[in-house]
Every structure is written in C-alpha cells, then in structure tokens.
Amino acid sequence: MRTLVVIPARLAAVRLPLKPLRLLAGVPLVVRVWERVSAMDVGDACVVATDDETVASAVHEAGGKSVITSGSHVSGTERVAEVANMAEYADFSTIVNVQGDEPFIGKAAIEGAAHLVASGRFPLGTAASPAPWDIGSNPDIVKVVVGDDRRALYFSRSAIPFRRDSEVEGMRMLQHIGVYAYSRSALSRWISLEPTALEQTERLEQLRPLAAGIPIGVAVAEEVAGAGIDTEGDLSRANARWQEFIGRR
C-alpha cells in the first residue's frame, strides 16, 4: 500500500497572477509547499503537477520532482488524476492532493485524510479543524458538518451548523482544510462526474462526489487551519507570518 502525494500548481491564477512563482520568504510559493510536505514524510513519493515549464524548473532547482500536465484541466483534481494515471505511479493505491497554495498545512491533516483512505474506511478523505463560531460569517472560509461516523454531511461557505440559540456542549464549528485523499477508483469516478448545481452554487468542487453519493471521510485535526493564498493580501500576510510559523515547528 503506497501513497502518492501530488501538489497541483496552475500558473494562470486569476486573483493572484503567477501564483506558484510568487515569493514566500524569498522562495517560490510552490517550492515552499513542496518543502513542507516533503519534510513531513507523509507519502512514498511527492510530486508537483503543473502546466508550465517555469514552475517545473523552479521545483527541479530546489531538488524536487515535477511533471508537466495538460493545460486544459479545470481543477486540481483532474491534474492529480493525470499524474496518478502515469505508468511510474501505477502501483500507488492512495493518492493525496495537497493544494499548491497551502504552505501552512499541518501534518496531522494530511496524514489523517490519507489514513481514512489507506485503511479502507472511506474512498475519499479530507480534513478539518475546530474553529471559532465567528468564521461562519466569512464566505472565504469553507465549513463542514461531520456525522458521528466521520462522514462529511455537507460543505458550505455559509455558517453550518447554524447556532440558533446558545452554544451546545460538544458542538464545534469545523473549518475545512484543503487536502484530499482518494482511492484510485474514487478518483476516477470523481473526474468522470459532471458538475452539479450544488457545486456550482457554492463554488465547492467537493460537493460533486458528495452529491453523487460517494462518501467523504473527515479527519478532525486539533490544529489551527492554515490559510490558503489567493490574493495579494493573503501573500502579504503569509510573508509576515512565515518566520513565526517556522519558529514554532
């Protein structure tokens, strides 16, 4: 049972142009993510999947492995699936997708998502962490509601669950963490599905397999969810935070 970690990195980001190559503490963002994940030793192989030779070169110069994938992919999941189907990765049974703009992601989130799939408990896995209730008003932070069996019930940009009255003991709001693990069959089925109304309404890709009845397990990591980098402001805050973050490791 081998685990492949893929970091998809598309150059043509709209809100943050040339995002994978933008500098985080003097190093390209995608390289920072690769460094973090590689140091965690959470998989048997770690590769960056990109549509651009410049991004691939930056990874190679840092000592990493990268592959060039099609420029026609509309999601990171499709890019990850292309890598998983390459001959050299055919014997990896669990595939993990760590988004290329998540330099602060924690080891517990990645390991937890991967274990849910590698153990055979779920065909798809992801992660979440407890968060303050006030994140409910922020549509840029994705929330998830999880059943007693750790199955995802729903993901939303809205406040879920909605706290109507006073706080209920034991009930916490969970912030979704941008990592996915797939069995080979579940990954193939995911990319074969057509986009759904739920997915298009919320702009959340993970609602596609959920709507199709594919179970998604959620590992709850007792850590502060790392913020993704989508805008100039996000990048500025990440640079301000980086030294403190590295110092706590």
Question: How many domains is the chain built from?
Answer: 1
Q: Is 17 helix (H, G, I), strand (E, B) or coil?
A: coil
What's the DSSP call for residue 32?
H
Residue 156 has a pLDDT of 97
**Closest residue by Cα to residue 99 from 176, 198, 213:** 176
What is the pLDDT at residue 164?
82
User: Per-residue confidence at 222, pLDDT binned at 50, 70, 90?
Assistant: confident
Which band of pLDDT confidence, cut at 50, 70 and 90, is reported for residue 211? very high
- Quote the pLDDT of residue 246: 67
pLDDT over threshold 90, residue 63:
yes
For position 27, which CATH number holds? 3.90.550.10
Residue 80 DSSP code: H
Share of the chain above pLDDT 70, in %: 98
Give Rg (Cα) of the chain.
17
The residue among 172 and 187 whose pLDDT is bigger is: 187
What is the residue range of 192's domain? 3-248
Confidence (pTM)? 0.93
For residues 243-247, average pLDDT: 68
Mean pLDDT of the chain, nearest integer: 92
Say how far apart CA 10 and CA 2 lie, in whole Å: 26
Which pLDDT band holds residue 247 (cuts at 50, 70, 90)? low
Q: CA angle 157-17-46, nearest 5°? A: 75
Specify the pLDDT at position 241.
87
pLDDT of residue 1: 80
> What are 96-146's pLDDT values in tens digits?
999 999 999 999 999 999 999 999 999 999 999 999 999 999 998 999 999
**Structure confidence by residue, pLDDT tens digits, 188-210:** 999 999 999 999 999 999 999 99
DSSP structure string for 83-98: HHTSGGGTT--EEEEE
Is there a contact between 160 and 143 (Cβ–Cβ < 8 Å)?
yes
Does residue 249 have a pLDDT over 60? no
